[in-house]
């Protein structure tokens, strides 16, 4: 891992650097013995607390050990033959149904459109393929592309005849384009819509494993009956109960993160080999200039600068020319920029750099 004694900066795992606060971690540490020794409460008690926190009816919730567990169970319960999904996206949305023999209809998002999803084209694609389930990840991972709430509602309205429409809102708390971007309450009054949330993503606690879905009481109850008893651990329960007292800090963390996203996006866009795509998530997707190798840049950054980034070569619909950077505070971004510039100097020795510069339009 390169130089000794230098802290690794993680631009790979999409954590929220401002939440939980150090005080909250101290509170958790103080309670750890009690938390780990005893069984958690039953799901109904935890769901009741979560519902109070979110202002939702507990009958519309089903909670699981990370939202990946819910993707798995949705596939077993409700994906019968085919599922449509725009790509690139989170790998489990394509891999899970393929592993169980379903047809996955992948709708390609185009770099030319800056990975923006055209909903009318997506609906036409779903009709042409006769897909029975449609998934929409909003904002999408890895590009952070976002669709306004009114468009997602229109999408849900157009697909009332499908077996299921899933809106994955794992990153929606990071949106600042509109005040109330979630369609969770709308899902609860529709016959075929499920909204998926990941507390790990929102609260920066991936290890706790906590996700939930919101759907009409019939669908939510079906999922609750399927999930194993005591699938939530005491640490997840403790976090849910702590959130009641830390709403202010959470909202402040989101404000800081949106500020950092803007600053970091501006800085990365100034780097000559980087094209940055617009994002409403807590990460930024970047395309490298032709001839710059993403795998080499990733290895250079980790080996020489202790900066860890996500190279997207293993994502369907991407190549190793694409990199994803988690939004981080300015001091960390300075280290990233320094590392990228050092890589550029090494890649483009003086003569080449001069020629490259001369080739550029004024």
For residue 139, the minimal CB distance to ligand PLP (Å) is 8
Q: Residues 11, 325: contact at Cβ < 8 Å?
A: yes
For ligand PLP, the closer CB: 67 or 306: 67
For residue 93, the minimal CB distance to ligand PLP (Å) is 7
User: Order of strands across the sheet with 211-214?
Assistant: 61-64, 211-214, 193-198, 164-168, 133-137, 82-87, 103-108
For ligand PLP, the closer CB: 149 or 310: 310
Binding residues vs ligand PLP (CB under 6 A) = 66-68, 90, 137, 141, 168, 170, 198, 200-201, 206, 211
For residue 2, the minimal CB distance to ligand PLP (Å) is 27
Residue 285: helix, strand or coil by DSSP?
A: strand
Closest listed residue to residue 167, CA positions, set 152, 181, 189: 152
For residue 91, the minimal CB distance to ligand PLP (Å) is 8
For ligand PLP, the closer CB: 105 or 168: 168
For ligand PLP, the closer CB: 66 or 97: 66
For ligand PLP, the closer CB: 53 or 124: 53
Q: Residues 193, 218: contact at Cβ < 8 Å?
A: no
For residue 256, the minimal CB distance to ligand PLP (Å) is 21
Can you tell me the distance from the alpha carbon of 212 to that of 170, in angstroms, rounded to the nearest whole number?
Answer: 10
* Region at 14 (left for phi over 0; alpha for psi -120 to 50; beta for the rest): beta
Phi, psi of 204 (to 5 degrees): 70, 30
């Amino acid at each position: 891992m390169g130089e000794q004694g230098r802290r690794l900066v993680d631009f790979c795992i999409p954590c929220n650097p401002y939440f939980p606060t150090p005080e909250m971690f101290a509170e958790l540490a103080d309670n750890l013995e009690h938390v780990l020794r005893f069984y958690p409460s039953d799901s109904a008690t935890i769901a009741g607390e979560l519902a109070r926190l979110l202002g939702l009816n507990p009958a519309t919730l089903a909670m699981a050990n990370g939202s990946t567990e819910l993707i798995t169970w949705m596939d077993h319960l409700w994906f019968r033959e085919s599922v449509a999904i725009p790509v690139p996206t989170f790998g489990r949305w394509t891999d899970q149904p393929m592993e169980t023999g379903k047809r996955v209809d992948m709708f390609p998002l185009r770099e030319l459109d800056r990975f923006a999803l055209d909903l009318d084209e997506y609906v036409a694609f779903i009709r042409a393929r006769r897909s029975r389930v449609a998934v929409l990840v909003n904002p999408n991972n890895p590009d952070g592309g976002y669709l306004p709430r009114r468009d997602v509602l229109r999408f849900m309205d157009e697909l009332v005849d499908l077996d299921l429409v899933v809106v994955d809102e794992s990153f929606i708390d990071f949106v600042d384009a509109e005040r109330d971007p979630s369609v969770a309450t709308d899902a609860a009054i529709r016959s075929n819509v499920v909204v998926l949330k990941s507390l790990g993503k929102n609260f920066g606690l991936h290890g706790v494993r906590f996700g939930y879905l919101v759907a009409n009481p019939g669908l939510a109850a079906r999922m609750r009956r399927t999930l194993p008893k005591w699938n939530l651990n005491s640490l997840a329960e403790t976090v849910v109960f702590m959130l009641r007292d830390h709403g202010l800090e959470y909202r402040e963390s989101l404000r800081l993160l949106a500020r950092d996203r803007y600053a970091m996006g501006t800085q990365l866009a100034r780097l000559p080999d980087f094209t940055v795509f617009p994002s409403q998530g807590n990460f930024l997707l970047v395309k490298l200039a032709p001839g710059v190798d993403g795998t080499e840049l990733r290895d250079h950054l980790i080996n020489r600068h202790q900066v860890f980034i996500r190279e997207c070569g293993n994502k369907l619909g991407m190549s190793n020319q694409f990199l994803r950077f988690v939004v981080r505070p300015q001091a960390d971004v300075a280290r990233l920029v320094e590392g990228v510039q050092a890589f550029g100097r090494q890649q483009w020795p003086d003569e080449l750099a001069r020629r490259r510069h001369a080739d550029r339009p004024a």
